[in-house]
Amino acid sequence: MIALKDIEFRYPGSDFCLRVPEMVVARGTTVALIGPSGSGKTTILNLIAGILVPDTGHIATNDVDLSRLGDSARRAFRIQNIGLVFQEFELIEHLSVLDNILLPCRITPAISLQQTHRDRAADLAREVGLADKLRRYVRKLSQGERQRVALCRALLLEPALLLCDEPTGNLDPINKAHVLQILFDYVNRHDTTLLTVTHDHELLPRFDETIDCQQFHASSEAIA
């Protein structure tokens, strides 16, 4: 379960203020996060992931109160429990497809890279149609291929929670349908909680719930 309670968050030196009195997402639920640009969708994902820390309030992610963890514990928790697909993919251009998918194993001392990880990375790449590109540098891939690499990386450690920031935003209709199929197949098979930012209102019926982030957006003046 994810639970946000009495959250306030501001970026230093910015007017933007996010206020979430309450938001609860039950385990295994799929949620579409909608709202205009600048309404705080990415900020909410980063708060749930523990990348950002709220000024006030509590966030429980998979029933763990992130505010009780220090920076390194929060980071280790994130890598082990949360699959993240970022808006800009955040791949490493000079590494191969395989090495990008394996990154979660490389960036935390809590996990040591095993052959099982390599096998799983290859299986995932095959599922998304990248089996023949495992050794290729990411900088030589198309946008659709990059997005699929980002998805494989997010699924490597079989996370119970998936946070995706416009995962189909840069894709043509065929790639979009493909990425969504992979995402929902995974979620249905693993009883995963999924939060996805999307601007595509045609997709909303595929999700259990829709949350409009505009309601959480308050200017500093409105608070004062």
**Tokens standing for residue 204:** 């909303």
- Is residue 54 part of the contact set for ligand ADP (CB under 6 A)? no
Q: Closest residue to Mg ion, Cβ-based?
A: 42
Residues 6 or more apart in contact with residue 215 via CB below 8 angstroms: none
Would you say 135 and 97 are in contact if contact means Cβ atoms under 8 Å apart? yes
Q: Closer CB to Mg ion, residue 42 or residue 196?
A: 42
Q: Closer CB to ligand ADP, residue 44 or residue 130?
A: 44
Give the DSSP per-residue string, 143-168. Answer: HHHHHHHHHHHHHTT--SEEEEESTT
In 3D space, the residue among 45, 76, 148, 209 whose CA is nearest the CA of residue 18 turns out to be: 45
Q: Which stretch binds ligand ADP (CB under 6 A): 11-19, 64-72, 123-131, 169-177?
A: 11-19
168 binds, among ligand ADP, Mg ion, none (CB under 5 to 8 A by kind): none
DSSP state of 130: -
By CB under 5 A, how many residues form the interface with Mg ion? 2
11 binds, among ligand ADP, Mg ion, none (CB under 5 to 8 A by kind): ligand ADP
Of 29, 30, 39, 42, which one interacts with Mg ion (CB under 5 A)? Answer: 42
Q: Which stretch binds ligand ADP (CB under 6 A): 8-16, 76-84, 111-119, 124-132?
A: 8-16
Would you say 9 and 46 are in contact if contact means Cβ atoms under 8 Å apart? no
- Is residue 11 part of the contact set for ligand ADP (CB under 6 A)? yes
| Rounded-to-integer distance, Cα 182 and Cα 164, Å | 13
In the complex, which residues of this chain contact Mg ion (CB under 5 A)? Answer: 41-42
In the complex, which residues of this chain contact ligand ADP (CB under 6 A)? Answer: 11, 14, 16, 35, 37-43
